Structure 1
Amino acid sequence: MGFELNVANRASQAALLPVILIATSINEARSNPVITINYHDTALLEGDNAVIQFKAGDKSVNGTIPAIQELRAQFPYLSGKDVKGEDEWISKLDSFDTLDFKALDPVLQNLDTHLLLRSFVSGYSLSTPDIAIWGALRGNRVVSAALKKGTLVNLGRWYKFLEDLCPWATVAVETLTAVAKEKKAAKSKAGASYDIALKNTENGVVTRFPPEPSGYLHIGHAKAALLNDYFAHEKYNGTLLLRFDDTNPSNEKQEFQDAIVEDLALMGIQPNRVSYTSDYFDELYDYCITMIKTGKAYADDTDKETMAKQRWDGIPSQRREMAAEESLARFEEMKKGTPEGLRWCIRAKISADDKNKAMRDPVIYRCNPAPHHRTGTKWVIYPTYDFACPVVDSMEGVTHALRTIEYRDRNPQYQWMLDALSLRTVQVWDFARMNFIRTLLSKRKLTKLVESGVVWGWDDPRFPTIRGIRRRGMTIPALREFILKQGPSKNITLFDWATIWATNKKYIDPVAPRHTAIEKADMVPTTVTGAPAPYTEKRAKHAKNAAVGEKTVAFSSSIILEQFDVKSFKQDEEITLMNWGNAIVRKITTEGDKVTNLELELHLAGDVKKTEKKVTWLSTEAQTLVLVDLVDFDHLLKKDSLDEDDILEDVLNFDTEFRVSAMADGNISEVQVGDIIQFDRKGFYRVDRAPAPGVPAVFFNIPTGKQK
């Protein structure tokens, strides 16, 4: 008989999760899942407005409670000794599905009182009501808010206990959430979100990505690059240009330029052509002369501070009406790099008091005697981005300039430059930049952190650079998926990093080998009586993916456990040694508040489903343990977002690295830098330094989107 659970992922999670988790618990108890869980749109389900449908062969039932009842009928062991009591709790599930706190509060208070002296809702072990009610609460955002207040002490304790006892439940929740988001994003991507009314696409599409080689690409740049690539190569059969905006030799390096090319290639972005603004310095110089001659630009020696104040207040420069011949003479001095020339700049003559301050006579050329990494000392004058970008876009045949919304005020300026020089127009489209909480995306501020030694470098795992997040464990497919799902929307959103790391988990969870690590601090040497002589077995590295390969697991009477786990043990309690079997606690030796030794009696006949505590362990015999450092990180900023008057040093978090020494199983000796694994009960990690004689291997914790 086949079993199938159909889920309408548009429905409330409080209605869906009780059944999904019960079905998942059944699958978890077997080596091969017996219930297929399908996620659908509501319209795809049979029956009247069905949100849950369970099929057992030819039989089909709809609804949360009927589905649970049918599951218990098909799998009788789901019901404990107190069937009547369990039925009563299951019948109350609908009361947990409301978002009205006034209606929900007495229900939660009643459950909190019920759990005062209980570890489980019904009976003395995990049962169907526990799983179902936990799922209903987990799916209700109002409950989450209530639990955070900490007033429901007993309920909060039980909730956390269930979460730790059933790690597969959290995975099922994340799967449901991810599927819902994926369907919503897929629909958005296939529909209106990418239909942004670009004009004249039938005549060909040429987009461009114009980074300045003054730093490494960060996640904000990645969005601009991927969207320009998407419109050029996927939405339309067009052309993508990569043009380095190398007009500021003081900040630019060949190192940054090479890194940008490498990072784009890693993201699967292959421009049709690579160029440089410096390729057009001669033409840009000539265009500037044209603008001066036609009275659309003038030379100015106003000092920087005064000029900024005048532009802000709408006051024209005293040089604004300078004759073209005199401005040309000043421009020639600038070109020669004379002391007199270095005092001057060239400004576009647009407006002194336009409401849009970007139109108030912006600087279009300035002096900089620093050597250029491509042109050397040929030039000491350079065009500004505001001047060079529209001109070179037009010259290179760009049809559509897609750029972040921060440039919106400069769009009229962009068009003015083209009109002033009678150049071909370019359609501009603004999209929202990606902002993340507690994250710096200012290249100037990131450079400051690198140069001051606050971080290790541009590839620091706390940095939002492509290299930084990859070093932390982000995969390129996850990065591409997340960014492309945001689309070219103009809506400004402050993202939580949890959203992108949750996407990443979908890619690493199915393929990451499973290993074991025990923290060294106060680890507990343990004797296992009844264990055979030391031996090893071949086991799958991933229980659900044989293609990941095999590992060697060592067994012996001498093992180590973690202090945190052992301190919770009680005399004669039965516990589970994960991936081995059950054991009974026979002797606990303590010194102060620490356990110094432990004696267990192996009890492989015990039922692993009935134990409350399932712990990781390592044999100290039949394998050579590997010393590792497990490193986790916090955000570099203390605030979710910075205000204009914030001083960077005041909001920096200087306590962001957390390093724990541990011993890992012998298989870890084979890992390489860049490998991604999972340490059981600890999380996913990326290898930053492979094992070597005399030094510990270093593993960086990879966030998964789940709050700690």
Structure 2
Amino acid sequence: MATLILAQKATSLAYGPLVYAHYLQDHESDLTVTVEWQDVPEITVGGDKTNVVLRIGDIQVVGAANAVHELAIMSGHASQYTDVADQLPHWLDFTRNELASGDFKQLGQTFETLNRHLTLRSFLAGYTPTEADFAVWGALRANKIFGGNMKSGGAKLGPHLVRWFTYLNGLPCVAEALKGHQRAVESTRNRVDQGNFDIPLKDGALGKVVTRFPPEPSGYLHIGHAKAALLNQYFAQKYDGQLILRFDDTNPSKEKMEFEQSIVEDLRLLGVAADRTTHTSDYFDQLYQYALQLIEDGLAYVDDTDNATMREERGAGIASRRRDETVAENQRRFEEMTRGTDYGLTCCLRAKMSVDNPNKAMRDPVVYRCNVKDPHHIHGYKWKVYPTYDFACPVVDSLEGVTHALRTNEYRDRNPQYEWFFDALKIRPVHIWDFSRLNFVYTLLSKRKLQQLVDEGLVNGWDDPRFPTVRGIRRRGLTIEALKQYILMQGASQNILLLEWDKLWALNKKVIDPVAPRHTAITEQNLCVVNVLDCPALPEARDVPKHKKNPAVGIKKLYTSNTLCLEAEDAAELAVDEEITLMDWGNMIVKRVQRDPATNIVTQVDLALHLDGDVKKTKKKLTWLSMLTPAEEPGLVQCMLVDYDHLLTKKKLEEGDQWQDYVNPVTEFKTRALGDSNLHDLRQGDIIQLERRGYYICDRPSTTESPMVYLIRVPDGKAKSTAAKVNAPPNA
């Protein structure tokens, strides 16, 4: 028994041994080969890297050609063609050497050699397929240059090579092997895509689980918050329990009612419905009493050390000079804090946890601090001292009956701190389950850093399409349905991953493509005027479907006339007497192409109608617009097509990187275009597809006061649409 181990993500898949193993098992009943896929680009064996390993007991055979040869020997297949055995080493070496080249010219000569050899032969050696055929076929199948030639008809390969390859490609063992590979790919994709939420919560009893989503109303929800909200809701619903939406409003310097209202609205759009909505500030009286209890029990002290010294002492594990003050003195000083006196404003209250714990989160954290400058957005100036999140969170979780605190694992170092308060205050403990936060390439998720981008005018606000906020990505064209699907795919994993944006946008494309109306827009710059020689001068209108595959999307007006416009790039490729297709109209013959002698830009084209022509036979299918429309109908629409780049130029910021050093200097790209008259009817938020351009969302519809339509490009998950555009020149 042998095991064939293949690298599933290899640049060049080992088709030869894979298919040969299936072929042998179909023809040699005594042979058993187990195929094992590894989700890696290469397999390391003794320092060597390869795309395939054949394991027979303790023996490991490395490389596709070697694996094919060993399979031939162990199966006994080699003994059936001893008359051509002397030819086989040549073809195995041919596979290792000539077919391993990536040079176009050299490969052309190699293909010519194969074609010439196969002129009067059905197979490379002998009258039936041998290991040579499978080794060479496998190398060709994995070769992109060969594959490209086959797709274009194989003319450059030669008829004999094409005949031989096509025959082997049609063998049943090939289809069987490729199905196995596809199953392996789908299995991996499902493991990655289908995040596992089926994680049992400790002491999770049906009807008893209470979770909470505690955003601070100091900014807009971003994609990371959306994951936390949906995850908390998932477990609450799974256990038939409750979800609490609690606004952590303990820092009046940052918080606004505007943010609170936007969070409620964004959660509604996400389909997150809390059973209760509360505020940490609802418990300010109880929290204050618990702070007094810590002081009375000798578990907290008031510290008037300045911030810089405190930071230095905590880092070095040095006790504060105020750590051993008496209870009475700490009570007096805390009263000064409560009244907001000049001295009180220099102080903070610290929990007496540890001076030098290796986990620095345990080194006497601050639990109360003063703020007399900023009114609380609900309580005004009632309070002059405010609890920190680290103190308020465990206490309010306990008071509100939360059974399971689900939070991102960036707080993992604070978990012992969280649990310390339960013991110190003798209150009901809460279980913690932490999960990984969503981290994306080229993306900042820190609200403080996002606020800086807003304050410095690098973006237009929290709903800027370049922002990872729920409002920002919705404005970019991401549907809530796709966002929810994507977050649920991530599951409750604790693995910290840096995610690409492409899969999220690819999911979104699946949502919008079946329902996005199709429209046309032509770039204004250097647009080419087209004369249709035998077409009536007066424009004619007809109804065509907005989406050919989905009639339910509706009908749009298509205008034809003798004066059209084409994209400059399309016009530049036209040749006289060439037959082309104008999409949704029919075929035309190019009669004249006029260029500007100074710039060589095509300025005018004459076309002749040839509507009986076969649209399937033309190579060029072009978008176009009639420059003329009936007097009573709206004309072409002025459009501004807007595309965006990532805000950062570096995929992943390393520790020590200053994010300001990697801010992308150019992130907005604008192109003026003319759109078909149906675009007059667009409403804000409508998503369409501009033929041959991509998907767009209407950001600003046409109005009498401002007739230009602003359309924002919706990435579709393809590399080009999600790749950094930092080196691309801006179009304005």
SS in structure 1 of the partner of residue 406 of structure 2: strand
Alignment counterpart, residue 384 of structure 1, candidates 371, 381, 388? 388
Counterpart-to-counterpart distance in 2, 1:318 and 1:667:
74
| Partner in structure 1 of residue 629 of structure 2 | 622
Counterpart-to-counterpart distance in 1, 2:355 and 2:406:
28
| Partner in structure 2 of residue 444 of structure 1 | 448
Alignment counterpart, residue 705 of structure 1, candidates 682, 702, 717? 717
Counterpart-to-counterpart distance in 2, 1:194 and 1:388:
30
CA contact (8 A) 1:115 1:155 kept: no
Counterpart-to-counterpart distance in 2, 1:185 and 1:597:
50
Offset, 1:646:
2.3
- C-alpha distance 672-522 of structure 1, shift in aligned 2 (>3 A): same
1:279-321 per-residue CA deviation (whole Å, 9 max, x = no partner) reads 0000000000000100111111111111111111111111111
Alignment counterpart, residue 583 of structure 2, candidates 578, 586, 599? 578
1:376-406 per-residue CA deviation (whole Å, 9 max, x = no partner) reads 0010100000000000000000000000010
Aligned letter for 1:341? G
Offset, 1:113:
3.4
| Partner in structure 1 of residue 568 of structure 2 | 563
CA contact (8 A) 1:518 1:561 kept: yes
Offset, 1:695:
3.4
CA contact (8 A) 1:112 1:155 kept: no
- C-alpha distance 207-541 of structure 1, shift in aligned 2 (>3 A): same
Trace 1:206-245 onto structure 2 (pairs within 5 A): 206-233=210-237, 235-245=238-248
CA contact (8 A) 2:531 2:607 kept: yes
2:407 counterpart of 1:403: yes
Alignment counterpart, residue 671 of structure 1, candidates 682, 688, 698? 682
CA contact (8 A) 1:534 1:622 kept: yes
2:682 counterpart of 1:690: no
Offset, 1:102:
7.3
| Partner in structure 1 of residue 295 of structure 2 | 292
Offset, 1:535:
1.0
Bigger mean CA deviation after superposition, 181-190 or 387-396: 181-190
Counterpart-to-counterpart distance in 1, 2:295 and 2:185:
54
CA contact (8 A) 1:391 1:418 kept: yes
2:361 counterpart of 1:349: no
Trace 1:14-25 onto structure 2 (pairs within 5 A): none
Larger of the two Rg values belongs to structure: 2
- C-alpha distance 512-389 of structure 1, shift in aligned 2 (>3 A): same
2:505 counterpart of 1:501: yes
| Partner in structure 2 of residue 68 of structure 1 | none
Counterpart-to-counterpart distance in 1, 2:210 and 2:455:
37
Offset, 1:418:
1.0
| Partner in structure 1 of residue 47 of structure 2 | none
2:314 counterpart of 1:311: yes
Alignment counterpart, residue 510 of structure 1, candidates 501, 511, 514? 514
Offset, 1:185:
7.0
Q: Calculate the aligned-residue CA RMSD, in Å.
A: 3.3
1:27-78 per-residue CA deviation (whole Å, 9 max, x = no partner) reads xxxxxxxxxxxxxxxxxxxxx999xxxxxxxxxxxxxxxxxxxxxxxxxxxx
| Partner in structure 2 of residue 272 of structure 1 | 275
Aligned letter for 1:262? E
2:644 counterpart of 1:633: yes
Unpaired segments ≥5 residues, structure 1: 1-9, 16-47, 51-99, 117-135, 160-176
Offset, 1:446:
0.3
CA contact (8 A) 1:673 1:687 kept: yes
Alignment counterpart, residue 332 of structure 2, candidates 306, 329, 335? 329
Offset, 1:187:
6.8
2:550 counterpart of 1:540: no
2:97 counterpart of 1:105: no
| Partner in structure 2 of residue 122 of structure 1 | none
Counterpart-to-counterpart distance in 2, 1:230 and 1:550:
41
Counterpart-to-counterpart distance in 2, 1:691 and 1:292:
64
SS in structure 2 of the partner of residue 242 of structure 1: strand
CA contact (8 A) 1:178 1:503 kept: no
The total of aligned residue pairs comes to 574
Bigger mean CA deviation after superposition, 212-221 or 531-540: 531-540
Counterpart-to-counterpart distance in 1, 2:194 and 2:502:
25
Counterpart-to-counterpart distance in 1, 2:584 and 2:105:
38
| Partner in structure 2 of residue 606 of structure 1 | 613
CA contact (8 A) 1:111 1:155 kept: no
CA contact (8 A) 2:194 2:488 kept: no
Counterpart-to-counterpart distance in 2, 1:191 and 1:688:
33
Counterpart-to-counterpart distance in 2, 1:103 and 1:413:
64
Counterpart-to-counterpart distance in 1, 2:234 and 2:182:
23
| Partner in structure 2 of residue 95 of structure 1 | none
Offset, 1:556:
1.3
| Partner in structure 2 of residue 647 of structure 1 | 658
Trace 1:45-124 onto structure 2 (pairs within 5 A): 105-106=100-101, 109=104, 113=108
| Partner in structure 2 of residue 91 of structure 1 | none
TM-score, normalised with respect to structure 1: 0.76
Offset, 1:500:
0.5
| Partner in structure 1 of residue 528 of structure 2 | 524
Alignment counterpart, residue 368 of structure 1, candidates 363, 368, 371? 371
Offset, 1:454:
0.8
Counterpart-to-counterpart distance in 2, 1:667 and 1:113:
51
Counterpart-to-counterpart distance in 1, 2:587 and 2:276:
63
Aligned letter for 1:621? L
Offset, 1:11:
12
1:521-547 per-residue CA deviation (whole Å, 9 max, x = no partner) reads 000000112334521111110011011
Trace 1:137-156 onto structure 2 (pairs within 5 A): none
Offset, 1:241:
0.3
1:55-112 per-residue CA deviation (whole Å, 9 max, x = no partner) reads xxxxxxxxxxxxxxxxxxxxxxxxxxxxxxxxxxxxxxxxxxxxx9979634884796
CA contact (8 A) 2:247 2:278 kept: yes
Identity %: 52
Counterpart-to-counterpart distance in 2, 1:506 and 1:402:
31
1:576-601 per-residue CA deviation (whole Å, 9 max, x = no partner) reads 11111111111011012201111011
Offset, 1:197:
4.2
SS in structure 2 of the partner of residue 608 of structure 1: coil
Offset, 1:692:
1.9
Counterpart-to-counterpart distance in 2, 1:243 and 1:577:
58
1:171-202 per-residue CA deviation (whole Å, 9 max, x = no partner) reads xxxxxx99999986767888954224433334
Counterpart-to-counterpart distance in 1, 2:506 and 2:225:
21
Alignment counterpart, residue 466 of structure 2, candidates 438, 462, 469? 462
Counterpart-to-counterpart distance in 2, 1:566 and 1:198:
67
- C-alpha distance 619-190 of structure 1, shift in aligned 2 (>3 A): closer
1:596-649 per-residue CA deviation (whole Å, 9 max, x = no partner) reads 111011211222222221110001123511111000000000001112322233
CA contact (8 A) 2:637 2:676 kept: yes
- C-alpha distance 49-639 of structure 1, shift in aligned 2 (>3 A): same
Offset, 1:155:
7.8
Aligned letter for 1:585? V
CA contact (8 A) 1:472 1:701 kept: yes
Alignment counterpart, residue 494 of structure 2, candidates 474, 486, 490? 490
Unpaired segments ≥5 residues, structure 2: 1-7, 14-32, 36-94, 112-137, 154-180, 721-732
Aligned letter for 2:416? P
1:511-570 per-residue CA deviation (whole Å, 9 max, x = no partner) reads 000000000000000011233452111111001101101101111111100101110111
| Partner in structure 2 of residue 120 of structure 1 | none
Counterpart-to-counterpart distance in 1, 2:419 and 2:694:
52
CA contact (8 A) 1:337 1:367 kept: yes
Trace 1:130-209 onto structure 2 (pairs within 5 A): 193-202=197-206, 204-209=208-213
2:420 counterpart of 1:425: no
CA contact (8 A) 2:564 2:625 kept: yes
| Partner in structure 2 of residue 166 of structure 1 | none
- C-alpha distance 425-305 of structure 1, shift in aligned 2 (>3 A): same
